[in-house]
Amino acid sequence: MTMTAFVSAVLALLLAPGPTNTLMGIAGARRGLASVARLLPAELAGYLTTVLPLAFLGAGLLEQVPALAVGLKLAAAVWIMVLATALWRAPGDEGESRGVGARRIYVTTVLNPKALIFGLVLLPAPQDPAFATRLGMFCLMVMGAALAWGCAGALTQAGNGGGKRLQGVQRLASVWLALVSISLVFGLMRA
């Protein structure tokens, strides 16, 4: 895969709406872009926690233990539904910050289904000379996408729309996360 194809594929996935991006957008809406910047290490660590073992162990592990893939997807679906419920119930005032912290970002990213694609499909094998460069590019793109989503979240509060606007954003994000969770469960049932 050329570097252009790699960057395009990774960015397309990273910028697509998903559980981690939704939380980064909410963090930006609640507390601004500075809070999103403080969450970047948690997101990056979350991706690397899943992506690196997959890159090193490869698809062979999931072929040998197919229940592992099912278990990961089921855990992701449950976690995403927990997030959706928490966002729905969260008050709409900007002072409420416990909902999106580093731990939640980390766990959500570890369980993010996108990580499977990065680790099993898009990153080259670790023995490939391009591995280190591609991994470095991946890390930079993770941070860039997170900042983009955080900035989008912060923009929803432009003009000081107050708690009602924030609560609307949180509810919309909650519905989106619930749909992602349900689609994961349906995908498991069809497999």
Burial (0-12, 13-18, 19+ Cβ within 10 Å), 149:
buried
Q: Which amino acid is at 173?
A: A
Q: Which amino acid is at 138?
A: F
Domain definitions of the chain by residue range: 3-190
Which of 38-42, 45-49, 88-92 has the lowest average pLDDT? 88-92
Q: Tell me the pLDDT tens digit for each residue of 49-63.
A: 999 998 988 767 777
pLDDT of residue 96: 45
Q: Are 21 and 145 within 8 A, CB to CB? A: yes
Q: pTM score, two decimals?
A: 0.79
Q: Tell me the pLDDT tens digit for each residue of 118-147.
A: 998 889 889 899 999 999 999 999 999 999
pLDDT at 162 over 90: no
Which among 148, 139, 157, 156 has a CA at the least distance from the CA of 18? 148
Which helix H or strand E contains 72, and what residues bound it? helix 66-89
Backbone CA torsion sign across 26, 28, 32, 34: positive
